[in-house]
Amino acid sequence: MCGIVGIFLKDPKLEPDLGAMLSSMLCVMTDRGPDSAGFAIYGSGEKDHVKLSLRAVEGYDFEALANSISLTSGGAPKLVVRSTHAVIEVPKAHESAVRAALAERHPEVAIVGTGSRMEIFKEVGLPRQVAERFDLPRMSGTHGIGHTRMATESAVTTAGAHPFSTGADQCLVHNGSLSNHNDLRRNLRREGISFATENDSEVAAGYLTWRMQQGKSLGEALEAGLGDLDGFFTFVVGTESGFGVLRDPIACKPAVMAETDQYVAFGSEYRALVDLPGISKARVFEPEPATVYFWDRAA
């Protein structure tokens, strides 16, 4: 099954409530995916800095890690620790050096996402536990996506939890299963996209990253995906300024959207949306199969 949710704010007044809204949506979707949960949130950020979302074992000393890379990053990086994850912020100019230092000195730490504004958190366990341990209800931002997982194509591990991020400020959550992911993964690796898991959803994320590297917009990348991705999918994707939704042509996997003057929201089921402000007056609709839906902050 899996449950996916997403919200894209049009009204800046709601930004302090983004985490609370996403958290409530995620918890309602527990029935669809009790194995693991995760979310990506687009908060504040500086243009010349990059945030790295890191994941390690329970009780990991992220302070020590930040100290050990402080020379590489040209000073002590800004560090926010949340349970098994931490976000460090370093000047963009130092990103590759910091990545090299992390790979060399801290192979035990995984980078789950990077970007100027995006932060990613995911863990095994019930969505409520996951939302609480990362303090999601108190996060703010412009848009976010979330996932509750019922594992089908690969193991119940934190690495297999969504969202998947394969490019800066890009992330994807997926409900469904892809049938040509092995072949695609091989081809994408040849194109220079790297993968951390055997998960089919990571291949979808990698595919979109590859298309966008070729200069396509997220909307165009999603359109191209209709021809190249085989299987069942409902995707919700985020970029630094955008929010997209795509369903396969058969549209087996459920999807409901609601739009008001203040936001666009996505849920696998309508009940994920019922606590959103003004939902009773929202335009509620089901996204059409094989149709790209895309909203952008910049537009």
Partner 1 sequence: MNAFNPDVTFDLAETPLRELNAALHKATGESNTRHWRVLNPNGRHALAAGVKAPLTIEVDGHVGYYCAGMNQQANVIIHGNAGVGVAENMMSGFVHVRGDASQSAGATAHGGMLRIDGNASARCGISMKGIDIIVQGSVGHMSAFMGQAGSLIVFGDAGDALGDSLYEAKLFVRGSVKSLGADCIEKELREEHKLHLHEKLTAAGLAGTVDVSEFKRYGSARQLYNFHIDNAGAY
231 or 289: whose CB is closer to partner 1?
289
Main-chain phi, psi angles of 114, to 5 degrees = -140, 160
Binding partner 1 (rule: CB under 8 A), the pick from 284, 291, 295, 296 is 284
In sequence order, which residues have a C-beta less than 8 Å from that of residue 146 and are 6 or more positions away?
Answer: 4, 5, 6, 22, 25, 26, 29, 37, 38, 39, 40, 127, 163, 173
Binding partner 1 (rule: CB under 8 A), the pick from 195, 274, 277, 297 is 274
Q: Which two tokens stand for residue 7?
A: 């919200």
Q: Which two tokens stand for residue 282?
A: 């929202």
Is 226 a binding residue for partner 1 by CB under 8 A? The answer is no
The answer to whether 2 is a known catalytic residue is yes
Q: Tell me if 253 sits within 8 A of 175, measured CB to CB.
A: yes
15 or 269: whose CB is closer to partner 1?
269
Tokens 């969202």: give the residue.
163
Is 259 a binding residue for partner 1 by CB under 8 A? The answer is no
Is 270 a binding residue for partner 1 by CB under 8 A? The answer is yes
Q: State the minimum distance, in angstroms, from the CB of residue 25 to partner 1.
A: 12
Task: Identify which of 70, 74, 66 has the alpha carbon closest to the alpha carbon of residue 93.
Answer: 74
Size of the site for partner 1 (CB under 8 A): 17
Residues 5-24 vs partner 1: string with x where CB under 8 A? --------------------
Cα torsion for 58, 42, 117, 106, to the nearest 10°?
A: 20
Question: In angstroms, rounded to a whole number, what is the distance separating the alpha carbons of residues 233 and 248?
Answer: 5
Is 251 a binding residue for partner 1 by CB under 8 A? The answer is yes
Binding partner 1 (rule: CB under 8 A), the pick from 254, 260, 296, 297 is 254
Residues binding partner 1 (CB under 8 A): 249-251, 254, 256, 269-274, 280, 284-286, 288-289
Positions annotated as catalytic residues are: 2
